Amino acid sequence: MKKLLPVLMALTMTAAALSGCGKNAAETASETTVAETSETVTETAETKGTAEDSAAETPLADDSADNKSEADNYTLKIGSLKGPTSMGLVHMMDRAEKGEAEGSYDFTMVTAADELLGKMVKGDLDIALVPANMASIIFNKTNQGVKAIDINTLGVLYVVSSDDSIKTIGDLKGKTVYLTGKGTTPDYALQHLLQANGLTTDDVTLEYKSEAAEVAAVLKGTEGAVGLLPQPFVTAAIAQNEALQMVLDLTKEWDSVADEEGGSLVTGVTICRTEVLEEHPEAVAAFLAEHKKSADFANTNVAEAAELVAAAGIIEKAPVAAKAIPYCSITYIDGEEMASMLGGYLKVLFDMDPATVGGTLPTDDFYYLPK
């Protein structure tokens, strides 16, 4: 336990994403389920897609300062959360710091999603990497003043246990599942999957904890316990208890029950202020190209990316980051595919509780589909 605590404490800031503010004082909403308030919402959730299914072999440009484009004429102010969304940016951040990036960027990394909400609403940021549902909330709060330009992380939630008899969601019947607070992303995602598999909370006992570290502690101290955790807490917990394993990937479970309009389990979305898109399209285009390369780098150069993640203070130790990255679902998805996946996901949240997406679903012009 002494070895586990420092790791969990180091990851607590990263995992703030799965606990946040909600419809009232008792219920909270997290990374992908932030309710329409400006109370603290923090990031944890992190993504689906392993390195093998989220990383396209895109060659990394080796642009020098002498070869920069006109995108340099405008410096984009970019905000991200201290977690998987920023992990997909670290190569881009490193290149920018070295003066090797094609565009000009000013990066800000925060620990609470509501900080990004406030900065975007006030216009202090041009681009922000935010929880998927918060993107919809900001769209509504700013009178359609932002657009979703890409998906940066998919699902990062896993059911973890030493009970290897759990193969499907149906196998959770009669069991107790420990997870972070009621009204958070894990809660909504799990309840959606229970319902889709013909189960209710009468069939599965949901035991809520205030933070992921508490769930990890239960898993370590209780044989056969079942927990729902986000990355990188999953990696940390398994590293400290060899009996634990990821028995269910909620992203795969979500995809297995989704219809054509059901989207996917989306964690992080990149949004841009509409006026910036209109006034500086070249700068945004450069950002998107470099964001894709940076996400690909994280998935195809895990050891190097892990060093950058540790250097950025996102995860304290590079070895832990290296183990977590393949399961953090870092990705880059834009265009029609983004609109389909994100739109379907937001519709599921809206049907469960409209407040999670800001009261109304975003209109079609929320999705940036460049010609």
What residue ranges do the domains of the chain occupy? 13-155+263-366, 164-257
Of 52-66, 87-101, 114-128, 217-231, the poorest mean pLDDT is in 52-66
pLDDT score at 77: 97
pLDDT score at 83: 84
138 touches 271 (CB < 8 A)? yes
Pick the more confident residue, 284 or 4. 284
User: Is the torsion defined by CA of 238, 81, 299, 89 positive or negative?
Assistant: negative
Q: Do domains 13-155+263-366 and 164-257 have the same CATH topology?
A: yes
Please tell me whether residue 111 adopts helix, strand or coil conformation. coil
Strand partners, 330: 153
User: pTM for this one?
Assistant: 0.76
R_g over Cα of the chain: 19
Tell me the per-residue pLDDT of 108-163, one tens digit each, with 9 for 90 and over: 999 888 889 889 989 999 999 998 989 999 999 999 999 999 999 998 899 999 99
Q: CA of 108: how far to CAs of 47, 82, 128, 140, 266, in Å?
A: 21, 10, 9, 23, 22
Q: What top-level class would CATH report for the domain 164-257?
A: alpha beta
Q: Is the pLDDT of residue 257 over 70?
A: yes
Note the maximum CA span of the chain.
64
Q: What top-level class would CATH report for the domain 13-155+263-366?
A: alpha beta
pLDDT score at 53: 40
Tell me the per-residue pLDDT of 258-271, one tens digit each, with 9 for 90 and over: 775 667 889 899 99
DSSP H or E segment with residue 80:
strand 75-81
Q: Output the DSSP codes for 261-328.
A: T----EEEEEEEEHHHHHH-HHHHHHHHHHHHHHHHHHHH-HHHHHHHHHHTTSSS-HHHHHHHGGGS
Please tell me whether residue 79 adopts helix, strand or coil conformation. strand
pLDDT confidence bin for 370, thresholds 50/70/90: confident
Q: Is the pLDDT of residue 49 over 70?
A: no
d(Cα 23, Cα 183) in Å, to the nearest integer?
8
Q: Which percentage of the chain shows pLDDT scores above 90?
A: 55
**Burial of 242 from C-beta contacts in 10 A (0-12 / 13-18 / 19+):** exposed
Tell me, what DSSP letter sits at residue 109? E
Q: Compute the average pLDDT of residues 89-116.
A: 93
pLDDT score at 260: 59
